[in-house]
Chain A
Amino acid sequence: MRKRVLVVVLFFSVLLNAQNKQVLYNFDQLPQTLLLNPGEKVSQKWHTGIPFLSGISFFAGSSDVTIYDVFADDGTSINDKVRKLIYDLNSNDFGSINQQLEVINIGIRLKNKRDFVSAGFYQEFDAIGYYPKDMAVLFYEGNSTLNKQYSLKDVNIKAELLGVFHAGISRKIDDDLQIGARIKLYSGVMNFQTKQNKGVFYTQLGSLNQYEHILAGIDGNVQTSGIFLPAGTEVNQAYFQKMMLLGGNLGLGFDVGFTYHPQKQWTVSGSILDLGFINNTKDNRTYSVQGNYSFQGIEPDFDLTNPTNYWEDLEDDFLDAINYTKSDESYWSWRSTKLNGMLKYEWGEDRFTDCFDTETEPGYFNGVGAHVFTIFRPKAPQIAATVFYERKFSNTFRAKITYTADSYSFSNIGLGVSARIGVFNMYAVADHLLGYKNLAKTNAGSVQLGMNIIVK
C-alpha cells in the first residue's frame, strides 16, 4: 500500500498549471470566455449552456516524470527508474489537478445594449501538492544514515471541492474599452490544507542508547473541513448536492477583467480570477504540533509487581513534547487566484458580416498574439507564456492554435475549434497535442468541451 502511495505521490507531485486555459481564453466570444475574463467582449443577445454539457474541463499532466519514465518496456528495472525519480525530483516540483463541470451558464444582453450579464453554477475540484522530497527519501531509504536531516517543510498540500454560484456583468464603456466583474459565492464541500510546516527529523548517536531519534523545531498543522464527518453521515449524491448548493462552507470571491483596443486591430485584455476565500465552519478538524522531541528507547524499571504501561507513557511524553492539539475551530482557506494577460493583433477584415446586423462589430479572419497566465500557489506563483494564431474560416467555424512554454514544458501545442450550426455552438479545446501520439510519453494533457445555445 505504501509503495502505491509513493508512486501516486511521484506522479501527482509534478502536475502543473492545471488551470491555464490559454486556448479558450478570448476564443470566439464563447460564453465560457466570460469565466476567464469577465470583461470579455461578447456579441450575442443571449446564450445558455446545455446543462452539464456546456463546460467540461479536465487536466492531467506531469513535468519531470511521465508514465513512460516509470513503466517503459525498455529492459531497465522499474526499481532503478523509481530510485532515479525519488532522488531527481526536487521539493519545488509540484502537483496540481483541476476539474470543472459547468452545470448552468446563462447570459443576456440588457436593454441598454452596453451591458451583458451572465450567471451560472459550476462544480470544481482543485488540488496542489508539492513533492515532499525529504519525507519520500526517508520512506525510501530509511533512517540508517546518521545525522541526515529530513525536513518537514516540503509537506505542502492543498485540496478543495466546491460549488460556485456566479453572476457577472460585462460593460461596454466605449468602442475601445470593455470592463467586467463577477461575484462568486463559494459553497465548499471539502477542504484540506497543510502548509508552512517546519522542523526536521534525524537520527544521531545517542548518549543513553546507541541511537537518538530527534524531532527538532517541529511546527506544523493540518486543517480539514468536510473530511471527518459526524457518525452516521451518508456521503452520497444528496450529500454532495446539499453541500454544493449553499449547504456547505460559504465563501466569497471576485473576478475582474477588461478588454481594450488601443488601435483598431490591436486588443489588450486581462483578468484577475478567484480573488476570494471560504470560511470553513462545518465539520472542521485541525491538528497542530509544535515543539521538540528526543527518543532513545524505553527505560524499564524491572518491577513486575507494579507494571508500567510503557507505551502509554511514551505516547503521553511524545504528545506533551510536541504540544499536540486537535480542535474544530473554523478557518479561512484562500482560493488560488489567477491572472491572465493577452495582447492580440488581428487582420483580414471580414467583409461578409451580415450587413443588416448593425450591432455586431465586423471581425477579422486572422489573429496572432501572446498570453500570459499566472496562478498563485502556496509556495510561489506558477507562470505560463503562450503565443497563438487564430483563424476564422467562416461565420460558423473558428480555430485557434497555441504554443505554450512554462517552467516544465517547451513543447505544448494546443488547438481549439468552435463551430456554430444555427444557434447551436460546440467547442473543443485540447493542448499538449504532441503527446497524444503516445500518452505514456506526454507530460500533460487537457481537454475542454462544451455546447451552448447562442443567439446573436
Chain B
Amino acid sequence: MSPKIQIVLLMLFFLTSCMDDVDFDQANDLSIQPKYVASLVHFTFDQHKFFDNLGNEQFMITDAAPTQLNNSTLVQENLTKADVQFKVTNQFNRTIVLVLRFYNASGQQTFVLNPIAVLPNTVDGIYTQTISWSDLNNLKNSSIARLDVVLMAGATPIDPTVNKILNVQVSGIFDFNFNN
C-alpha cells in the first residue's frame, strides 16, 4: 500500500469517527437543586425601645432596608421556595406581633408575611412561614423589606425600669433550581 493511500486512510479514520449512544438533549432535563440557609436579621432590645424621647409608649417600631431581590438574577431565575423562620423570646408582659412586608421601587406593597403573634413570656418560640409559589413572584418584584414590631394593647403598661428583653432571630431557608 502506497504511503499516500495509507495517509488518506488514516485521515478518513479520524474524520469518520463518531459519537454513538448519547443524547445531548438530556441537558434540557438537568436540574440542580441546592438548599441554602441564611441568617437574615437579629435584634435584642429591652422595654425602653417602645418609649419615645418624651417617655410616651409607642405601639410600633419599624425599620426598612433595600433587598435587591428584583435585581438579582439568581433569585429571579432560580429561587423556587423560601421559608422564613422566626425564633423569638418575648419576656414582655404583652403580646408582640412581627410583620414582615415587602415593597417595590414605587413604594407599593408587593407582599406581606402572615403576622406572627408572640405571646408574653415566650422563650425560643419558633415560627416558620413558607412563601408560596405565587407569593414568590411578588417577593421577587420587591426591592425593600420592612419589619414592623407591634406592641399589642394590654391591660398593663410595660415598665422600662424592669429588665425584660425581646429577642428576635430571623433566618431563611431557600430552595433553588438551576435548569434551563
Interface set of A (CB-CB < 8 Å, partner B): 2-3, 6-7, 67-68, 70-74, 77-79, 82, 139-144, 203, 206, 208-213, 295-304, 307-308, 310-311, 393-394, 396-397, 415, 417, 419, 421, 426, 428, 430, 436-440, 447
Contact = CB atoms under 8 A, between A and B. Distances in A.
A209 B180 CA distance: 35
A299 B41 contact: yes
B153 interface: no
Contact of B39 (A213, A417, A428): A213
A203 B34 CA distance: 15
Interface stretch (B64-72, B104-112, B114-122, B156-164): B64-72
B83 to A, nearest CB: 11
29 contacts: A2-B178, A6-B178, A7-B27, A71-B24, A71-B26, A73-B21, A73-B23, A78-B27, A142-B37, A143-B37, A144-B173, A206-B169, A211-B39, A295-B39, A297-B38, A297-B40, A297-B171, A298-B42, A304-B62, A304-B64, A308-B65, A311-B65, A417-B3, A417-B6, A419-B3, A419-B7, A426-B7, A438-B19, A440-B20
A304 B63 contact: yes
Contacts of A303: 63
B50 to A, nearest CB: 10
B38 A78 contact: no
Interface string B18-34: 11111110110111101
Given A142-B37, A143-B36, 19 more contacts: A2-B78, A71-B27, A73-B21, A144-B35, A144-B173, A203-B37, A209-B42, A210-B169, A296-B39, A299-B42, A299-B43, A300-B63, A300-B147, A302-B149, A304-B62, A307-B64, A419-B3, A436-B14, A447-B14
B10 interface: yes
B14 A430 contact: yes
B103 to A, nearest CB: 14
Contacts of B26: 70-71, 73, 78
Contact of B170 (A297, A304, A439): A297
Contacts of A142: 34-37, 176
A135 B17 CA distance: 36
B114 to A, nearest CB: 19
Contacts of A68: 21-22
Nearest to A426: B7
B159 to A, nearest CB: 20
Contacts of B65: 298, 300, 308, 310-311
A208 B31 CA distance: 35
A79 B22 contact: no
A304 B42 CA distance: 17
Contact of A439 (B17, B29, B43, B78): B17
Given A74-B21, A298-B65, A209 B39 contact: yes
A164 to B, nearest CB: 27
B22 A139 contact: no
A140 B32 contact: yes
B11 interface: yes
B116 to A, nearest CB: 15
A438 B21 contact: yes
A437 B13 CA distance: 9
A78 B179 CA distance: 12
Contacts of A295: 39
Interface of B: 3-4, 6-7, 10-11, 13-14, 17-24, 26-27, 29-32, 34-43, 45, 49, 61-66, 68, 78, 85, 87, 147, 149, 169-171, 173, 176, 178-180
Nearest to A142: B34
Nearest to B6: A417
Contact of A428 (B11, B41, B170, B178): B11
A111 to B, nearest CB: 33
A439 B16 CA distance: 11
A433 to B, nearest CB: 8
Contacts of B4: 419, 421
A341 B32 CA distance: 46
B3 A415 contact: no
Contacts of A439: 17-19
Contacts of B41: 209, 297-300
Contacts of B19: 67, 438-440
Contacts of B147: 300
A58 to B, nearest CB: 12
Contacts of B179: 3
Contacts of B66: 311
A54 B45 CA distance: 77
Given A210-B169, A428-B7, A428-B11, A311 B35 contact: no
Nearest to B146: A304
B9 to A, nearest CB: 10
A427 to B, nearest CB: 9
A77 B149 CA distance: 48
A436 B3 contact: no
B169 A297 contact: yes
A209 B171 CA distance: 8
B15 to A, nearest CB: 10
A134 to B, nearest CB: 14
B63 A209 contact: no
A415 B10 contact: yes
B36 A144 contact: yes
B130 to A, nearest CB: 15
Q: Which of B24, B87, B178 gathers most chain A CB within 10 Å?
A: B178
A397 B9 CA distance: 14
Nearest to A67: B22
Contact of A140 (B10, B24, B34, B42): B34
